Amino acid sequence: MPKMTGLEVASRVNKKKLDEKVIILTTFAQKAYFEQAVAANVAGYLLKDSPSDELITAIRDVSEGKTIFAPELVVNMISVENNPLSTREMEVLAVAESGITTKQIAKQLFLSEGTVRNYLSAIFSKLGVHNRIEAIKMAQSNKWL
């Protein structure tokens, strides 16, 4: 989204107490994003690779007042333990996982390059690693990503 993220939209809808229901459709099946979505009071959080019939069912269920979360996310929430990273650090690491540059990460997350470097440095320190590859491998092996 060009001017704000889906989570920011959901948060604004929630704060303004609007009747609209928000379903997040994302590629991110990570605890940090999911927690933000729950905090924003979304009605659904689904993965983009979900089968179309599941998406249709989810939209119908949400329109009937139900809350729908992708099963993969619930499993991921249960299996994630002892993650020392903050939500924002997880966002930076998740975007870095694609192998893009610091400049590209900054642009995607609407941060300065210096801020991204600071987050990466904090991530490396907390995880006891020396670079992005090691941080990503550790996060993947612990099912944080």
Q: Contacts from 135-140 at CB under 8 Å and sequence distance 24+? A: 135/93, 135/96, 136/93, 136/96, 136/97, 139/85, 139/90, 139/93, 139/97
Q: Which residue has the tokens 């959901």?
A: 10
Report the alpha-carbon distance of residue 114 to residue 120 in Å, rounded. 10
Q: Domain extents for the chain? A: 6-79, 87-141
Kindly list the distances between the CA atom of residue 56 and the CA atoms of 4, 63, 107, 108, in Å, as whole numbers in the listed order: 25, 11, 33, 29
First-to-last C-alpha distance (Å) of the chain: 22
Tell the CATH topology of 6-79.
Answer: Rossmann fold (3.40.50)
Structure confidence at residue 36 (pLDDT): 81
Tell the CATH topology of 87-141.
Answer: Arc Repressor Mutant, subunit A (1.10.10)
* The model's pTM: 0.51
Write out the two tokens for 110: 């609407």
pLDDT tens over the chain, length 145 residues: 568 777 788 888 878 877 788 888 887 777 777 778 888 888 988 888 888 898 899 999 999 989 988 877 765 665 556 788 988 999 999 999 999 999 999 999 999 999 999 999 999 998 889 999 999 998 998 888 8
Query: 39 φ, ψ to 5°?
Result: -65, -30
